[in-house]
Amino acid sequence: MLVEFASAVDAARCAVEVQRGVAVQNVGVPLNVRIEFRIGIHVGDIIFDDNDIFGDGVNIAARLEGIAEPGGICVSDDAQRQIRGKLDSPPFEDMGPQNLKNIAEPMRAWRLSVDAKSSAYLSGDRSAETAQPLALPDKPSIAVLPFQNMSSDPEQEYFADGTVEDIITALSRYPSLFVIARNSSFTYKG
Between 185 and 129, name the one with better pLDDT: 185
Count the Cβ atoms, other than its own, within 10 Å of residue 5.
Answer: 17
Tally Cβ neighbours within 10 Å of residue 137. Answer: 12
For residue 124, the model assigns a pLDDT of 42
pLDDT band at 63 (very low <50, low <70, confident <90, very high): very high
Quote the CA–CA distance of 145 and 185 in Å, as a whole number. 5
Cα angle 79, 95, 165; round to 5: 10
Q: Dihedrals φ, ψ of 155, to 5°?
A: -65, -25
Within 30-181, residue ranges assigned H as helices are 56-67, 77-83, 116-122, 156-171
pTM: 0.59
Number of residues that make up the chain: 190
Between CA 2 and CA 132 the distance in angstroms is: 34
User: Is the model's pLDDT at 129 over the cut of 80?
Assistant: no
